Amino acid sequence: MATPLIQISGLEKAFSTNESWLGQWRLRQGKLARHKDSVHALNGVNLTINQGETLCVVGETGCGKSTLARVIMGLTPPSAGEIHYLDQRIDQLNNRQRMFFRRRMQMVFQNPYASLNPRMTVYQTLSEPISFHNPQLSQSSVDEKIDELLESVGISASSSDRYPHEFSGGQRQRISLARALSVEPDFIVADEPLSALDVSVQAQVLNLMMDKQEERNLSYLFITHDLAVVEHFATRVAVMYLGRICELSPTSTLFSSPKHPYTQALLSAIPRLDSNTAQPIRLIGEVPTPTEKPIGCVFQARCPYANQRCYESSPSMTLQSDGSSVACHAIEEGRL
């Protein structure tokens, strides 16, 4: 039975895009009025991440994947909603209270150039978090731990005095992973960790992530746009569109019977290796930027099945007989 590790409910995040006080004034019908422009990046996300699973989040650029990751990690506060780690609420902690969770939850980013400090050797990069979270450890135990950790991610311990630029992209991403693992977390958020890597090197990093998950019963929230990776690696998949989850399914169910109209279009667009695949489903228009909080279904402007109800009310996630959950009126009404 799946045990929840992280539970997210009603999560919203809006960014104001004209932050300066002066920039907020508009002339409206001859009068000055204050107006805050904003982007609604998350519009009510409900999600559970179970212990030991890999939950993959997919969706087009700008749909809110990175924002979701950053809000979960406490790097930016949510505008509304709650996040629980086991039975503790973690979305409103101050820095001191967060310390314990910093250790339990770690993040790996897309660009290992940007996330590793270029002026710190690999040894320094790893010893800092280890010593900080384990003040009781002696220097020699810390060193031992670093050597072990490096070898376990396939980096020779003898190269620990080198700087990030002396490693290849794949090696750097494995060092980032080693840093995340150094504090022995339960949960790792990985935001497009493979995107900057070549296919052969992607395989090395993905294999490493699978090894570590098995060894430590790690849970992953894994963000990627590579659907082949998702199909291979995910336990469950959440499909996002404009700040909402529109389908959440066990991986094999999602790929064998995608249900939401957006999921169907997304999967049909994968450039598969075989030649005789069906034509991709063409969507109308492009993803809009959500400057207003959406009313109705977030997908209505591009959906071929939209009706009046879709413009007026937002569909809620409904569990289907095959274990998937979908938010779509047409499916609920049996039109699709």
Partner 1 sequence: MKKRELAALIDVSFTLNRGERIAIVGESGAGKSILGFSIVNLISKPGYIESGSIKLENKELTTMNLRQLQEIRGKRIAMIFQDPMMTLNPVLTIGNQLVETIRSHTNISYKDARNIAIEKLHNVQISSPEKRFDQYPHELSGGMRQRVIIAAVLLLNPDIIIADEPTTALDVTIQAEILQLLLSICRDNGVALILISHDLGVVSKVAERTLVMYAGHIVEEGPTLEIINDPQHPYTQGLLNALPQMTIPGQRLNQIQGSMPSLAERPTGCAFHPRCPYATQKCKQEQPQFIYSGVSSVACFMIEDMLNEFADTDKEVL
Task: Give the binding range for partner 1 (CB under 8 A) out of 32-40, 43-51, 273-281, 293-301.
Answer: 273-281
Interacting partner of 330 out of partner 1, ligand SF4, ligand ADP, none (Cβ under 5 to 8 A depending on kind):
ligand SF4
Alpha-carbon gap, residue 27 to 34, rounded angstroms: 9
> Of all residues in the chain, what percent are helix, strand and coil, respectively (each to 5)?
35, 25, 40
Closest by CA position to 62, among listed 316, 317, 327, 291: 291
According to CB under 5 A, which residues from 66 to 85 bind Mg ion? 66
Is the CB of 62 or the CB of 81 nearer to partner 1? 62
CB 64 within 8 A of CB 240: yes
| Site membership for ligand SF4, residue 223 (CB under 6 A) | no
Q: How far is the CB of 308 from ligand SF4 (least distance, A)?
A: 10
CB 260 within 8 A of CB 326: yes
Is the CB of 74 or the CB of 146 nearer to ligand ADP? 74
Alpha-carbon gap, residue 28 to 315, rounded angstroms: 34
Q: Which residues contact 316 (CB under 8 A, 6 or more apart)?
A: 327
Selected binder of ligand ADP within 20, 61, 140, 308 (CB under 6 A) = 61
* Joined tokens for residue 14: 């809006």
| Site membership for ligand SF4, residue 259 (CB under 6 A) | no
Beta pairing partners, 55? 221, 236
Selected binder of ligand SF4 within 160, 182, 213, 300 (CB under 6 A) = 300
Q: Which residues contact 176 (CB under 8 A, 6 or more apart)?
A: 108, 109, 112, 115, 116, 193
| Site membership for partner 1, residue 273 (CB under 8 A) | yes
| Site membership for ligand SF4, residue 328 (CB under 6 A) | yes
According to CB under 8 A, which residues from 198 to 237 bind partner 1? 198-204, 206-207, 210-211, 225-229, 231-233
Q: How far is the CB of 206 from partner 1 (least distance, A)?
A: 6
Q: How far is the CB of 197 from ligand ADP (least distance, A)?
A: 13
| Site membership for partner 1, residue 286 (CB under 8 A) | yes
